[in-house]
Amino acid sequence: MMLLLYALPALAQWPTPPAAGWASVQASPEIECTADSEGLPWCYAEVDAPVAFARVVAVIRDLDHYPDTFDHVDDVRRLDASTAWIHIDYPQPLADRDYVARFAQVGDADAPGPAGAVNSFHIRFRAADSADAPPLAEGAVRLPHAAGGYDAWDLGGGITRVRYTWETEIGGQVPAWISERARLVHGGEVIDGIVKTSAK
pLDDT at position 13 is 56
**pLDDT value at residue 85:** 97
Which residues does the chain have with pLDDT short of 70? 1-14
Geometric angle at alpha carbon 108, from 104 and 109, rounded to 5°: 95
pLDDT score for 7:
42
How crowded is the C-beta side of 190, counted as CA atoms within 13 Å?
23
The beta strand positions in the chain, using DSSP E, are 23-26, 30-35, 41-49, 73-80, 83-88, 97-105, 119-127, 141-142, 147-156, 159-167
Residue 167: name the closest of 189, 195, 187, 197 by CA.
Answer: 187
What is the residue extent of each domain of the chain? Answer: 43-198
43-198 placed in CATH 3.30.530.20? yes
CA dist., res. 180 & res. 176, Å (int): 6
pTM: 0.91
